[in-house]
């Protein structure tokens, strides 16, 4: 590896998985000039050819193993979820830093194995929990952390997608690890727990539906509601779904309710990408952030910049295990029939 701790140089990166999200993230990073793209891997040769238009100097490869042969400093993984943990482990064991699409694993056990491997290898680990990097959350989180809102006693989270995934593996629990909670809810549960500085979650209740009826343990949910209660007494409510007839493409919201005020993130006009943030006090409100805000590639760029600065394992990555432990509890509570947890 050419990258050394404390040095600042352009890290050499391999991208593995070049569907729309992988290619979009690669395009965003290529525009920053922060890193050198040395390998592009995907079993779909057409996907590789499209990506080569953005990084013509990169080597075209068909697999992660072939990408690792080019000795990159870091690997960006955007393959289907079932291979996220195994791919991350292989890259870390080869001495590479890793940036992975969410979810990092299908279960907390898989995520824990990756985080422990990153710690052993002393390599920087990142996950594309990109909603943290929106201008809206950049304005809201300091209000929560500083106490400007008083004691935050409730957070309401909503993510409804009118379409749902178009790949068959999303609907296979063994491959995806879960349905709309794993695909959509992960972002908002992360925002809530991250904003509260990772409190202990004492109690979890959930209900999950599949095609309008209670989801069985082997099924993926397409509608879910969950209530989390922290040790400090904050109540977090989540509702998320695929293919909901909501009259618009998406409903994405996070409302933070405090004893001295409130703050909210909400998508604008049904958009998946445009967000506004507002600060509330009584019946009054004022804007904190508005679109346009090109946030999609921000998490990857920030990881690449840290890698360029020579950063290695960050203990904050251990909170990824905490996040997935909560997601596991939501799935267990929502599919076992008694609703409690």
Contact 175, 105 (CB under 8 A): no
The whole-number pLDDT of residue 6 equals 44
CA–CA gap between residue 131 and residue 186 (Å, rounded): 10
The whole-number average pLDDT for the span 297-313 is 97
The whole-number pLDDT of residue 4 equals 44
CA 6 to chain centre: 28
Q: What is the pLDDT of residues 117-127, one digit of tens each?
A: 999 999 999 99
**335 pLDDT tier (thresholds 50, 70, 90):** confident
Residue 129 has pLDDT above 70, yes or no: yes
Q: Report how many helices (DSSP H) and strands (DSSP E) the chain contains, helices first.
A: 11, 15
Give me the helices (H) in 82-134, please: 84-93, 108-121
The whole-number average pLDDT for the span 305-334 is 98
**77 pLDDT tier (thresholds 50, 70, 90):** very high
Q: For residue 277, which of 151, 126, 134 has the smallest C-alpha distance?
A: 134
**336 pLDDT tier (thresholds 50, 70, 90):** low
Q: What is the pLDDT of residues 211-222, one digit of tens each?
A: 999 999 899 999
Q: For residue 192, which of 140, 249, 247 has the smallest C-alpha distance?
A: 140
Mean model confidence pLDDT for the chain:
95
* Secondary structure letter of residue 70 according to DSSP: T
The whole-number pLDDT of residue 5 equals 39
């Amino acid at each position: 590896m050419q990258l050394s701790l404390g040095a600042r140089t352009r890290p050499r990166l391999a991208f593995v998985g070049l569907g729309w999200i992988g290619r979009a993230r690669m395009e965003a990073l290529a525009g920053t000039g922060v890193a050198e793209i040395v390998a592009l891997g995907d079993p779909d040769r057409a996907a590789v050819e499209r990506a080569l238009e953005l990084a013509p100097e990169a080597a075209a490869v068909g697999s992660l193993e072939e990408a690792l042969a080019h000795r990159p400093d870091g690997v960006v993984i955007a393959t289907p979820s079932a291979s996220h943990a195994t791919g991350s482990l292989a890259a870390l064991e080869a001495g590479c830093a890793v940036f992975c699409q969410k979810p990092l694993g299908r279960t907390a056990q898989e995520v824990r194995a990756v985080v422990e491997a990153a710690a052993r290898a002393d390599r920087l680990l990142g996950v594309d929990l990109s909603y943290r990097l929106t201008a809206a959350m950049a304005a809201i989180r300091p209000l929560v952390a500083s106490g400007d809102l008083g004691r935050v006693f409730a957070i309401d989270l909503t993510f409804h997608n009118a379409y749902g995934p178009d790949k068959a593996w999303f609907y296979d629990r063994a491959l995806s690890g879960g349905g709309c909670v794993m695909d959509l809810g992960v972002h908002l549960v992360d925002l809530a727990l991250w904003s509260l500085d990772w409190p202990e979650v004492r109690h979890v209740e959930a209900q999950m539906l599949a095609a309008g009826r209670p989801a069985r343990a082997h099924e993926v949910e397409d509608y879910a509601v969950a209530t989390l209660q922290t040790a400090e007494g904050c109540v977090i409510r989540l509702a998320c779904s695929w293919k909901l007839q909501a009259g618009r493409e998406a409903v994405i919201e996070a409302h933070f309710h405090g004893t001295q005020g409130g703050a909210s993130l909400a998508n604008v006009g049904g958009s998946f990408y445009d967000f506004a943030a507002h600060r509330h006090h009584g019946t009054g409100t004022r804007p904190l952030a508005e679109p346009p805000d090109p946030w999609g590639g921000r998490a990857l760029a920030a990881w690449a910049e840290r890698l360029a600065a020579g950063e290695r394992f960050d203990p904050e990555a251990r909170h990824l295990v905490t996040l997935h432990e909560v997601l596991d509890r939501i799935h267990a509570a929502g599919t076992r029939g008694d609703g409690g947890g």
